[in-house]
Structure 1
Amino acid sequence: MASSSGAPPPGGPHHPTARTATAPDPEDQLARLARSWLWLLGGAVATLVPGVLALVWPDVTLHVLGVLIGLYLLVSAGFRFVTVFGRREAGERLPGLLVAVLFVLGGVLCLRHPLQTVGALSLVVGAVWLVSGVVTLYGALSSKNLPHRGLVLAVAVLGIAAGIVVLAMPAESARILTRLLGLWLVLLGLAETALALAWRSALRKAGITDGPDTHTSA
């Protein structure tokens, strides 16, 4: 929304000048949203909720677990895709975009009924966490002036560790897999929550409420 000063343009609100002055920029709006600490917190909650559900509901069927993990990956992909617009340079957006696409592919695979076996779910989720952790680690190391680089690196390393553990420790039952995935989801969600709160603190110190002039990492 843009406001004007002085006398209104001739011809009322239907004058061409009035229309162009209030035209929003979709990319700028997405960038503002991506730089908000609340958006980062939303992504953390999207990770925490299925993790908590998996831990308090260990006897969930394999079908329900596949749906739960698939929805988690798809929702997280949406948060990560919007976060891509918080990057200043196009080159900095590529790692985040790759991670978002990877989460979409993993979510679709988990929702497919033929792939809902213990081994298939372990393979898909472990591969997604491992690859996304590596990509996030690369993006954190290559980005210039990245705020809270240490926390971003910690989240990336935690994702890599989660992927390796899930891939290296094949679960023999849905119950074991549920507890394993739930534990790692909670750990990742807590790490992402810490990153969101650190970002809020940085914005407040800079006197910024929504972070229009800063950028953060996926």
Structure 2
Amino acid sequence: MSATPGPAPGAGRTHLRDGATPGLPDGPAELLGTLGRSWQWILASAVATLVPGIVVLVWPDTTLHVLAVLIGLYLLVTGAFRFVGVLGREEQGARLPELLLAVLYVLAGVLCLRHPLQTIAALSLIVGVVWLVSGMLTLFTAIASRDLPHRGVVLGAALLAVVAGIVVLALPAESARALTRLLGLWLVLLGLVEVAIALAWRAALRRSGMAGAPRRPAGTG
């Protein structure tokens, strides 16, 4: 009767490539992948989407004010960087245009910080012009191309863009508040969907008795 050979030295733990052990994350990439497949991470993503949406819905005017301040700070910082960049140029002929552009950025930033509501109105005017022009171009294309697929849908979308552009141009401040509320509503709805996905993922993991899953649900990134 032959004796069963004992385990070879060093064979008490199965090793994978580069000394990795099964059941443990193989480096930062696998660790992050395991974290991304957990339902807690999906729930945290949902909360990160819900909270800004609720803030935008509860304080729309404050949100607009903060947005205008951030734009003003961005313009000031950009102007400062451009001014320093001008000083580093050796070509004398290229300094003047860059210097004027830097001063323009700084002045625009100061105006944004001094008059935030006018900044939002200006942004709304830009959005309105973009919608109006794009809608008119799309409308012209739909009318000129009789063999265009789904021509009726394209015509309807073009008319909707034209009407939206006219409304925004006529009421820039009110349109900005309405767009802000729509953004907040969209974030809240998206966050609620992610919460439902996270809870469903947790239930699926509990039913399978697994601590993780090989594939994360679609639409949670």
Per the normalisation by structure 2, the TM-score is: 0.40
| Bigger Rg, which one | 2
TM-score normalized by the length of structure 1 = 0.40
